[in-house]
Amino acid sequence: MLRYVAHRLLASIPVLFLVTLISFGLMQLVPGDPAILIAGLQATPEEVERVRRQLGLDQPFHVQLFSWYAHLLRGDLGTSLLLGRDVLDVILERLPVSFSIALYALVLTVAVGLFAGIVAALRQNSLVDQLVMTVALLGVSLPNFWLALMLVVLFAVQLGWLPSGGYVDFREDFWGWLASATLPAVSLAMLQMGLLARITRSTMLEVLRQDYIRTARAKGLPARLVVGKHALKNVMIPVVTVLGIVTSLLLSGSVVIETIFSIPGIGSLLGSSILRRDYPVIQGGLLFVAAMLLVINLLVDLLYAWLDPRIRYGHGE
Amino acid sequence: MASEALSSPLDAVAAPPRRRFPTLRRLLRHKLFLVGAFLFSIVLVAALFADLLIQVDPNRISMRHKFRPPGSEWIFGTDNFGRSQWSRVVKGAQLSLAIGFGVVLLNALFGTLLGALAGYFRALDNLLMRIMDAFMAFPVILLAIGITAALGPGSINAVIALAAVYTPRTARIVRASVLVVREQAYVEAARAMGASNLRILLRHVLPNCTAPLIVQLTFIFAYSVLSEAVLSFLGLGAAPPTPTWGNIIAEGRLYIREAPWITLIPGLALAMTVLGLNLLGDGLRDVLDPRLKVQQ
Amino acid sequence: MTTSPAPVLSVQGLTTELRTERGRFNAVDGVSFDLWPGEVLGIVGESGCGKSMTALSILGLVPQPPGRVVAGRVLFEGRDLLQLPERELQRIRGAKIAMIFQEPMTSLNPVFTVGEQILETLRQHERLGRRAARDRAIELLAKVGIPSPAERLESYPHELSGGMRQRVMIAIALACNPKVLLADEPTTALDVTIQAQILDLLERLQAELGMAVVLITHDLGIVAEFAHRVLVMYAGRVIEEGPVEAIFEAPAHPYTRGLLESLPDPESDRERLQVIPGSVPQLGELGPGCRFAPRCALAGPACRQADPPLARAGARAVACFRAELATPPVERVA
Ligand SMILES: Nc1ncnc2c1ncn2[C@@H]1O[C@H](COP(=O)(O)OP(=O)(O)OP(=O)(O)O)[C@@H](O)[C@H]1O
Ligand SMILES: [Mg+2]
């Protein structure tokens, strides 16, 4: 197990390095003179010059790269052009907000997706199965930002049950947070719920056909244990491996969803930085999210290894 | 021994008569595939014959007619500038599919190239795959946002960004197939007979990757259409008067209380396209490559 | 063999239907037999003749879909297992009637330890304290010949060889001292040397515990060596039944005879020859006549018109119109 952890940690170092390189490279993609673009067309030559110096764009390429890493190592992701503040500070300040919504969506995804997938598999080809699979298919096909708008029309505008936007801090008012976070979390979770339900169902069907399930039944175990213990633990192994993808999709979705619901998280920060060309925020935000995902994927792999003894004892890859 | 008796009932069961186009036949018996084909072909027809289907210029402003609900006069209603929603949504279909198609094309080209290189040339494999991993470490939309934000908004840039984001995923699949195929006896044989690497790749290895590739590209088509809508919703697609579905939804959002149809209809069109493509992908996977599981 | 007044298990007219894409057919078709206390009953037949389905049907384990038991009775301790509610059946499975399977490599759950898989059976059926259960599990592993059993409790199946896994399966099956053991080809997937070890183990344990065993196999050699009585199955039916010595001495059914002739000669190293041409008919593509007729050298017109019933004479039974013609004595007897 320790060897496996060490191996995974080592393997993620080059990837992390490349991730930082890609984030740096994004700035190089900006066509023409980025200083002019950033400062705006109405800017005076002095202002453009100031921006250029502030971003180090007057330096040769290798110096820029070197200073990018020098700053990174000190945990410095740059300064927001618009807010004039440290990018990492801004991100960390907004992290709990995004985190609370994403966690809510993740819990919904796993609870509903897993449950629906298992029920569908146990009642294969029944009406329930067909219903679950249809909803799951819609979940992976409906655009989440559009779904969010429709949910707002229905639950906020027509029925008035939930707020149409805004965010209440969970540390101040939990129920207020729950009300404000429900529509965002549901629209954010739809895609992953559908995905997880589909994967869980097909995995469950596969597992239920295995010989060891027949053995469990032949031992006289009740269905509760055959399914809830013997099948479930085997289903969890492949399901856990998609948790990384699920989280990645959640973070992808948070840009539009946070923007639509005016939630002051990292997603909406990125959303608003795009149009204002606040490149350091975009660059730093992307890097931060990718690094976070690498850590999450590492945790997922460890969970996977813990669930599957064949890997835990070093027989797997 | 009773040989005549042996060959009659048993053999008939063992070897069903061979038919032509077995794959096509199985696809045509796959109900959900047919539903997908139906949904997608509606959008495809709208896109191909957009100019015939549209009577009113999608950008013609007519303030007298603004906020007309869907009805006999305006099939899909009008928006805040009195523009025909029908014209805009149909034109949007054209743009969406063109963009999706562009992404799929670039993606097939580069994905196959990178995947084949990585799978076939051991020396390149590690480096290429680490780079792919790094690209895949970013959430899809976020990286696409980053790239389009850097390149500047616009349809072409959206295509480039989406192709860049999805290519590593395709490359992985091609690589995996190549790794399997290259060990196979007939490839060994070709190599032994002195065939060049390029020739082996083109003649033997790649044709065997087509099944997973087709399935993958169908799903990529679906994600691209969806992601492009997100990009243009965020203002990173074609500039506003251009009627992309994302643009229409973004504008309609402001009038969602008084004119919900502006948002509803392009969203339904988008959902229909993506649903159709997903069903096509599921069907193709079931028939062409049953071992593949549900993927991202 | 002890002659006891009542059989432990009595199977009567068991019929299991399978519905597949290409139609429905009876994988088990009116199978009847009695299993007497302390007896080892061999069931033989080629691959696909319904041996496993018979065993699974008895315990209500037929995969559904595609299978379903449609007729028959399985009498055990005065009750018909086929009529019992699932809860009641669960009390019998693994406790009074246990089963071991053909595929040792896949029959154990890969994500639980060997110990857990034995202990959960004990927990399910018996009231034992933690310590007592653990001791019993160790004792069981020792009994099936697993070295350092206490340490093995913590092992996962992938750490064991096929033979060891089958021993674990046997330990699980014996955990609650069952009255009946259904052993479905327990050695087919194993090396020849391991095969012999496992069979010897089963024989020893059977004698020790006095349970009745249904030993399913397609290897007549195994039947000759370990079984008291034998049931020959063909395409879902019992076509011959009787004491092992009698049947090996004088097989009545042409199919049984063919099987015996395909046994390897102990003198030579040659592999078993396939003497019976053709293979077991699949699915419901069967005419009105005897199911073996298409492959039978002796089949006459009568054989193609009606299906011969299983006719009894003393301890023996055979389903063949031409039974008398098929009985030149076979010299080689195990
Ligand atoms: N899950 C299933 N689906 C469809 N047909 C099945 C299934 N299981 C068994 N069958 C069919 O039922 C028949 C009897 O199968 P069974 O497994 O009982 O044979 P067997 O005598 O145990 O053979 P073997 O020696 O190979 O284990 C065969 O024709 C087989 O093809
Ligand atoms: Mg069998």
- The one-character DSSP state at A55 is T
Query: Which whole-number Å values give the CA distances from B157 to B86, B109, B145, C252, in the listed order?
Result: 27, 17, 10, 83
Measured CA to CA, the distance from residue B264 to residue A142 in angstroms comes to 12
The chain-wide mean pLDDT, for chain B, equals 79
Partners of B3 on chain C (C-beta within 8 Å) are: 277
Supply angle C-alpha B93, B98, B104, rounded to 5: 125
**pLDDT above 90: residue A243:** no
CB C13 within 8 A of CB C51: no
What are the chain C neighbours of B6 within 8 Å (beta carbons)? 277-278, 294-295
Best of C25, C261, C295 to disrupt the B interface by mutation (most B CBs within 10 Å)? C295
B174 neighbors A55 (Cβ within 8 angstroms): no
CA distance A212 to chain C (A): 4
Output the six-digit token pair for A57.
Answer: 């764009």
**Phi-psi sector, A220: left (phi>0), alpha (psi -120 to 50), beta:** left
Q: Which residues contact C105 (CB under 8 A, 6 or more apart)?
A: C162, C165, C189
CB within 8 Å: C299 and B1: no
Contact C277 B8 (CB under 8 A): no
Complex confidence, ipTM? 0.84
Q: Do β-strands C97-100 and C229-234 pair in parallel, antiparallel, or remain unpaired?
A: unpaired
CATH superfamily entry for domain C9-227: P-loop containing nucleotide triphosphate hydrolases (3.40.50.300)
List where CATH 3.40.50.300 sits in chain C: 9-227
Whether chain A has a CB inside 8 Å of the CB on B263: the answer is yes
Write down the pLDDT at residue A179.
84
pLDDT of residue B265 exceeding 80, the answer is: yes
Relative to beta strand C40-44, strand C212-217 is parallel
Tokens of C269: 């190293």
Residues A152-196 have pLDDT tens digits of 888 888 888 888 887 888 888 888 888 888 999 999 999 899 989
* Average pLDDT score over chain C: 82
Tokens of C105: 């490599």
Per-residue confidence band for C285, with pLDDT thresholds at 50, 70 and 90: low
Residues in chain B: 296
Return d(Cα C212, Cα C179) in angstroms, integer.
6
The pLDDT value recorded for residue B295 is 39
CA distance B202 to B207: 7
Q: CB under 6 Å to ligand 1: residues?
A: C 18, 20, 27, 45, 47-53, 63, 66, 102, 185, 218, 282
Question: Quick one: average pLDDT of B24-28?
Answer: 79
pLDDT of residue C4: 52
- For chain A, what percent of residues have pLDDT higher than 90? 21
Alpha helix (H) ranges present in chain C? 51-58, 86-92, 104-107, 114-125, 130-143, 149-152, 162-174, 192-209, 220-226, 244-249, 254-261, 301-305
Determine contact, residues B263/A149, Cβ cutoff 8 Å.
yes
Specify which residues C241 forms β-bridges with. Answer: C231, C317
Q: Is A278 on the interface with C (CB under 8 A)?
A: no
Which of B77, B92, B89 minimizes the C-alpha distance to B258?
B77
pLDDT band at C216 (very low <50, low <70, confident <90, very high): very high
Quickly state the pLDDT bin for B5 (edges 50, 70, 90).
very low
Q: What is the largest CA-CA distance in chain B?
A: 93
Reported as a pLDDT band with limits 50, 70 and 90, residue B252 is confident
Q: Which residues of chain B lie closer than 8 angstroms to C281, CB-CB?
A: 9-10, 13
Report, in this order, helix, strand and coil percent for chain C, each rounded to 5: 35, 25, 40
Q: What distance in Å separates the CA atoms of residue A81 and residue A221, rounded to the nearest whole number?
A: 64
* Domain B27-51+72-290: CATH superfamily, name plus number: MetI-like (1.10.3720.10)
Percent of chain C clearing pLDDT 70 (strictly above): 88
Residue C297 burial (CB count, 10 A)? 14
Confidence of residue C281 (pLDDT cuts 50, 70, 90): low
More confident residue, C192 or A206: A206
- CA dist B294 and B221 (Å) reads 16
Identify the CA nearest to C253 among candidates C218, C227, C302, C290.
C290
With a CB cutoff of 8 Å and minimum separation 6, the contacts of B107 are B163, B166, B167, B170, B217, B220
Whether the per-residue pLDDT at B10 is higher than 60: the answer is: no
Amino acid at residue number A297: N
Q: How many CA atoms lie within 13 A of B173 on its CB side?
A: 26
CB A51 within 8 A of CB A38: yes
Nearest CB to C107; choose among A209, A215, A308: A215
* Separation between Cα atoms, residue B62 and residue A218, nearest integer Å: 75
Rounded to the nearest 10°, the torsion over CA B120, B121, B127, B133 is 0
Given a cut of 90, is residue A216 above it in pLDDT?
yes
Closest-CA residue of B relative to C286 is: B9
Query: Is the link from the previous residue into B290 a cis peptide, with omega within 30 of 0?
Result: no
Q: Do B267 and A150 touch (CB under 8 A)?
A: yes
Local confidence band at C138 (pLDDT 50, 70, 90 cut-offs): very high
Q: How many helices (H) and strands (E) does chain B have?
A: 14, 0
To the nearest whole Å, the CA of B273 is away from the closest chain A CA by 8
Left (φ > 0), alpha (ψ -120 to 50) or beta: where does A122 sit? Answer: alpha
Euclidean distance between CA atoms B110 and B210, whole angstroms: 15
Residue A30, pLDDT above cutoff 50: yes
**Residue of higher predicted confidence among C35 and B193:** C35
Q: Please, which pLDDT band fits residue B290 given cuts at 50, 70 and 90?
A: low
More confident residue, A284 or B16: A284
Query: Is C243 within 8 Å of chain B by CB?
Result: no
Q: What is the DSSP letter of A109?
A: I
Query: What pLDDT is stored for residue C273 in this prediction?
Result: 47
Q: What is the mean pLDDT of residues C57-64?
A: 89
Reduced to 3 states, what is the DSSP secondary structure of residue C85?
Answer: coil
B182 vs C231, residue with greater confidence: C231
pLDDT at A119: 92
Bridge partner list, C79: C76
User: Closest ligand to C66 CA?
Assistant: 1
Helix axes C114-125, C162-174, angle to 10 degrees: 10
> What six digits make up the tokens of A80?
């927001």
Task: Give whole-number Cα distances, A156 to A177, B252, C207, in Å.
Answer: 15, 17, 76
Indicate whether C329 pLDDT > 50.
Answer: no
> Strand, helix or coil at B260?
coil
pLDDT of residue C136 exceeding 70, the answer is yes
DSSP assignment of B184-243 equals: SHHHHHHHHTT--HHHHIIIIIGGGGHHHHHHHHHHHHHHHHHHHHHHHHTT-SS-TTS-
- Cβ partners under 8 Å of residue A69, min gap 6: A20
Q: Where are the domains of chain B?
A: 27-51+72-290
Categorize the per-residue pLDDT at C221 as very low, low, confident or very high, splitting at 50, 70 and 90: confident
DSSP structural state of residue C273: P
Instruction: Determine the pLDDT at residue B7.
Output: 31
d(CA B165, CA B153): 16
pLDDT greater than 50 at residue C120 = yes
Record the pTM: 0.81
Give the Å distances, CA to CA, from C267 to A242, B236, C104, C271.
59, 84, 31, 12
Answer whether B80's CB lies under 8 Å from B66's CB.
Answer: yes
CA dihedral sign, ordered A168, A173, A179, A183: positive
How many angstroms separate the CA atoms of A310 and C160, rounded? 12
pLDDT grade, residue A312 (50/70/90)?
A: low
Residue at C36: amino acid letter = W
Element (H, E) at C32: strand C23-35
Single-letter residue type at C292: F
Question: Given a cut of 90, is residue B180 above it in pLDDT?
Answer: no
pLDDT recorded at residue C265:
58
Mean of pLDDT values over C52-64: 90
If you average pLDDT over every residue of chain A, what do you get?
84
CB contact under 8 A, C282 and B13: yes
Neighbours of chain C (3+ CB pairs under 8 A): A, B
**What is the three-class DSSP state of C321?**
coil
**Separation of alpha carbons A105 and A99, rounded Å:** 10
Confidence band of B3 (pLDDT split at 50, 70, 90): very low
Please tell me the distance from the alpha carbon of residue B152 to that of residue B237, in angstroms, as a whole number: 9
Q: Output the pLDDT for position B157.
A: 87
Instruction: Name which of C22, C278, C297 is nearest B10 (Cβ-Cβ).
Output: C278
Instruction: Provide the percentage of residues in chain A whose pLDDT is more than 70.
Output: 95
For C100, nearest residue in chain A (alpha carbons): A215
